[in-house]
Chain A
Amino acid sequence: MDILKIGGQEIHNRLFLGTGKFASDALIPDVIKASGVQVVTVALRRVDFENEQENMLNYIDKECVLMPNTSGARTADEAVRIARIARAAGCGNWVKIEVIKDNKYLLPDNYETLKTTEILAREGFAVFPYMSPDLMVARQMRDAGAAAVMPLGSPIGSNRGLQTRELVRILIDEIDLPIIVDAGIGRPSEAAEAMEMGAAAVLVNTAIAVADDPVAMAAAFSMAVKAGRQGYLAGPGAAKLYAEASSPLTGFLRDSD
């Protein structure tokens, strides 16, 4: 059995689901069921007194592992505060660190993210930092006690796929922590590619949420992640420049030249 042991949990499904941007949150139970995801992210926000809304947690299967994110935080202090509130609210000890100051590309601030990771890991959180794929910072995240590192494939919500593949590949090669590709994955094939490269998991939100049929897309992503993972475990053969015949090169049904 191929199990991802991470943050004190045993994860069987390597597709992690983000829950933002769904046309209706009421779709989420079906999305979770169709894909079999176990790890689900949520965000924490101030209540809007003008608009009564359901608590997102009511849509998430109680068996799921919750990964609250610190979205909205611009500094380590803000991220730490959000993480502590989420844990006190009963969301468990997992947290995805997201510290962003850049509004155009929503690229993470690796420095503030590292500071947050150091503080929260000391406090016993399972810390999942969302980061730009930088080897040196990833090493520091590991040394700070991160449970995994989560490099972006391309900017959040862009559906542009694994634009950072070479840098992600280096992280997979060099960092002895699970590498979870987060952000930018737009299609199941791109999720499969990340898994074939040896990513431990992928986190997908927008690509599922904005699909014509989010439930069917979630199922497709789940299968792609499984296929990619199995392909990685099976050990792909080497790529070659020239052809190498698959059928024998002897015993042809013609006279010899």
Chain B
Amino acid sequence: MVSLQLFSANSLINKVMVIVQIKINGKVTEIEPSLNLASLLETRRIKPGAVVVQYNGDIVDKGLWTKIVLQENDELEILRFVGGG
């Protein structure tokens, strides 16, 4: 029994390891590991010209998006300009 429990716990850890949890626009989101910012936006069908991205509090230039590999607990704000008075 004991060994079985240990085995379960290990497999759970393994499972957790392959998912990265980040925060996108204030919402905890699970993404695959080693995903860079540019690829993330692509999978979400976001046009690079349409948004402003804040990565852990700093605005990141579009040119750097492929270089940022998202890590556990990273925080992203993906913003855009809309009509307003």
Chain A residues packing against B (C-beta within 8 Å): 18-22, 25, 28, 41-47, 49, 52-58, 68-69, 71, 85, 88-89, 91, 156-157, 183, 203, 205-206
Contact = CB atoms under 8 A, between A and B. Distances in A.
Contact of A44 (B47, B81, B85): B81
A234 B75 CA distance: 57
Nearest to B26: A46
Nearest to A25: B83
Interface of B: 25-26, 44-47, 49-52, 54, 59, 77-85
A205 B82 CA distance: 13
A55 B81 contact: yes
Given A47-B78, A56-B83, A183-B85, 14 more contacts: A18-B85, A21-B83, A42-B84, A44-B52, A44-B79, A44-B82, A47-B80, A49-B46, A53-B82, A54-B50, A55-B80, A56-B81, A85-B52, A89-B81
B81 A42 contact: yes
Contacts of A20: 82-85
A22 to B, nearest CB: 6
Contacts of A18: 83-85
B31 to A, nearest CB: 13
A89 to B, nearest CB: 4
A41 to B, nearest CB: 6
A21 B83 CA distance: 7
Among A19, A46, A54, A58, find the residue whose CB has the most chain B CB atoms closer than 10 A: A46
A215 to B, nearest CB: 15
Nearest to A156: B85
B44 A45 contact: no
B85 A19 contact: yes
Nearest to B57: A81
Given A44-B52, A47-B25, A55-B49, A22 B83 contact: yes
A53 B83 CA distance: 11
Contacts of B52: 44, 85, 88-89
Contacts of A71: 84-85
A43 to B, nearest CB: 3
A101 B82 CA distance: 21
Given A47-B25, A85-B52, A85-B59, A53 B80 contact: yes
A57 B51 contact: no
Contact of A203 (B54, B80, B85): B85
Contact of A52 (B45, B59, B82, B84): B45
Nearest to B54: A85
B25 A43 contact: no
Given A19-B85, A69-B84, A55 B79 contact: no
